[in-house]
Amino acid sequence: MGKSPNVYSFPGVAELAPTLRQYVLAQQQASIERHGTFRVAVSGGSLPKTLAQALLAKGDGTPADTVDFNKWEIFFADERCVPLDHEDSNYKLLKDELLDKIDKEAFGEPKVYPIEEKYLDDAQECADQYEKQLVSVFAARDSVKLPLFDLLLLGCGPDGHTCSLFPEHPLLRETDAWVLSISDSPKPPPKRITLSLPVVLHGAKIAFVATGAGKKDIFKSIFETEEGRALPCGLVNEGAGDKVSWFTDNAALEGVSVPRRGSL
């Protein structure tokens, strides 16, 4: 992929949120025009909170600035194999931060695809069953090679992981399955499911949202070094090029040599 990712930097999350909103709503509009729905995959970590700050803000009332949640289909880019009301659940995190706070009368209600609790004991089964849910939504496995998410909203871990794809893990080499299981996640809890790297790279748009001084070292590595380009986040940059946007802040980019912008 020839073109580089777009990097947007802001003084902090409060300033980042309005631009993230503008970006997400532009993808919402384009996707609804294309196929009548907006299919989004979200990660855990700090993302749900920042996303909520962007999407729950008061818009200007124009259609372009209105979240049409009735058209949203929300999937999990990765999920921990725990009950949906467990503190470690990414579904619970999204529910607490965003879903429960939506004014449904005004903005509608997204269709959300959590993992199925009956498969929690077996991470592989949990992944297979989540893949089946994707198949039912994105068309039969034999008719589409990969599911096409309109937007993936991802985080970047301090080791360069994204989704539950960790550096140097064999899962990074998976080319067939859409959803993978991991039982030895270096970040607890150990049992998780995750979208595969090919599914992430296939997304129409991919946005990383990662802020704070704690990201400085990993950003330096990802944007400046060969080793960093081989980390999961680096592989997304390399494989998806300018389909990728980074929403970040000045503290995270301090001393990092990468061209950046302050608006879309």
Ligand X SMILES: O=C(O)[C@H](O)[C@@H](O)[C@H](O)[C@H](O)COP(=O)(O)O
CB of 99 within 8 A of CB of 110? yes
Per CB under 6 A, contacts with ligand X among 231-260 are none
- 58, amino acid identity: K
Binds ligand X by CB under 6 A, chosen from 141, 187, 229, 260: 187
CB atoms inside a 10 Å sphere around CB 245: 21
Binds ligand X by CB under 6 A, chosen from 155, 160, 228, 234: 155
Q: How many CA atoms lie within 13 A of 195 on its CB side?
A: 30
Beta carbons within 8 Å of 250's beta carbon, 6+ residues apart: 9, 10, 11, 12
Buried/exposed 134-145: b ≥16 CB within 10 Å, e otherwise: bbeebeeeeeee
Residue closer to ligand X, measured from CB, 78 or 249: 78
Per CB under 6 A, contacts with ligand X among 41-70 are 43-47
Residue closer to ligand X, measured from CB, 155 or 228: 155
- 65, amino acid identity: D
Residue closer to ligand X, measured from CB, 45 or 147: 45
Residue span binding ligand X (CB under 6 A) among the ranges 99-107, 150-158, 173-181, 235-243: 150-158
What is the number of helices (H) and of strands (E) in the chain? 10, 10
- 168, amino acid identity: E
CA distances from 233 to 5, 48, 101, 143, 146 (A): 11, 19, 30, 29, 20
Q: Rule CB under 6 A: is residue 157 a binding residue for ligand X?
A: yes
Residue closer to ligand X, measured from CB, 28 or 194: 194
Residue closer to ligand X, measured from CB, 31 or 50: 50
- Count of chain residues binding ligand X (CB under 6 A): 17
CB of 249 to ligand X, least distance (A): 12
CB of 43 to ligand X, least distance (A): 3
CB of 161 to ligand X, least distance (A): 6
CB of 185 to ligand X, least distance (A): 8
Site residues for ligand X per CB under 6 A = 43-47, 78, 80, 90, 155-157, 161-164, 187, 210
